[in-house]
Structure 1
């Protein structure tokens, strides 16, 4: 590769711009959390999840081939900002508000979330094109962000439930358990509709119903395939 071929615009494609929007909204989510705009932080992180969901689809539809791995790397770097650091900062700021005397514990859990996120994405980049399985090895990192944000937006948020859930999910991210990609379009459509409806705060008894349904769907996905993997391990 010649020096004149290393200009940044020789690498960036439309899917990479979408991945950049993922990172931008993840960073905005961090800023909102720092300033105690927790609902807005959660919304921005969810928007980042939407952009992360469509960048690969756009690349396939447009026929782009990532021969040099630029797209894969920018996607992973965006993911660690939006789904590693952003939810960890959100949890930390919530912890400082709801359990200020547990700062050390909160920091440890948040660091664990980020560390597991980095390890998971690094492993994905190494093994992604070297194994036959087309799903995820370890729980997908957007899932930890979606679980935390959906839990907060339900109106049923409890800091201890969040601590326990984040420890479990972070551990599952670096596990060797298999989680399939969801290619069922009706399920994807339902998830997208719920994400769109979540900011509208369609509430019953002060519970955000779309956020609650979204949280339950992701939790079911986590539990079903955790059980499946544990059953196969025991056998």
Structure 2
């Protein structure tokens, strides 16, 4: 009996050591995410805008991996959640806000000083709104994770996730590369940033893909399409990433607007049916 107990204690101790060692792995990915955000800020200050956009994209990949690795190894903790939120605020809040301002709202040339000043002020406002809304989105997400999950809530996010908002900014910069020089383009850029900021704090639902289990076997067609998508991202990253980011951004709006449009159409039909018929006078 004593030998069995001793062996059991050794097994428990070895498992604890392995578990403690595995708990570091997700945090390493989170630290890598922070580094990507820091590098994106430095690259933005040096006017290497495409490198900054790529760094934000790499940070998105690391952000997706650290959570999945923590769940697979059963090493998720409150410390990891808080560290991940801080990393997200740096990489997907501060870095894209600076990139959006420097790339699209501070390089207008050949204009009057008064116009340039107004464009810069609009840039400060829109990018700061993006940063604040991103912080609010992260705070709301942290509160929601502590509540008991509702039925089907794992299938969607409430509000645009801040990594996808940052990904949209990075995809646009990666596609065009050359900084914005026209006032009209700068105004459109500001409107897009404000739209992203609004969607992050809205109640629009976006697909989370959390129920996609990597360990489950997939049909060959799914594997083939995944491989083709990865190849397209590698060879045609500018176009493919912008298309994917735009589709995801619009998906929540479409799913929100379709029920509203159907209810509006139903109300209009109901009003037309209930309208009293007016009998005209005939000579």
Which residue in the other structure is 2:250 paired with?
A: 223
- Note the aligned Cα RMSD (angstroms): 2.6
Pairwise CA distance, 1:184:
8.5
Larger radius of gyration: 2
Q: What SS is found at the alignment partner of 1:98?
A: coil
Q: Does 1:80 align with 2:97?
A: no
Unaligned runs of 5+ residues in structure 1 are: 1-8, 203-208
Give distance in 2, aligned partners of 1:84 and 1:191. 27
Q: What SS is found at the alignment partner of 2:75?
A: coil
Greater mean alpha carbon deviation, residues 98-107 or residues 164-173 = 98-107
Which residue in the other structure is 1:26 paired with?
A: 37
Q: What SS is found at the alignment partner of 2:102?
A: helix
Which residue in the other structure is 1:206 paired with?
A: none
Give distance in 2, aligned partners of 1:55 and 1:109. 30
Match of 1:159 among 178, 186, 194: 186
Instruction: Flag the 1:87–1:190 CA change in 2: closer, same or farther, 3 A.
Output: farther
Which residue in the other structure is 1:93 paired with?
A: 102
1:144-223 equivalences in 2 (<5 Å) = 144-155=165-176, 158-182=185-209, 183=212, 186=222, 192-195=230-233, 197=234, 209-223=236-250
TM (norm. structure 1) is: 0.81
Q: What SS is found at the alignment partner of 1:15?
A: helix
Instruction: Flag the 1:233–1:127 CA change in 2: closer, same or farther, 3 A.
Output: farther
Query: CA contact under 8 A between 2:122 and 2:190: conserved in structure 1?
Result: no
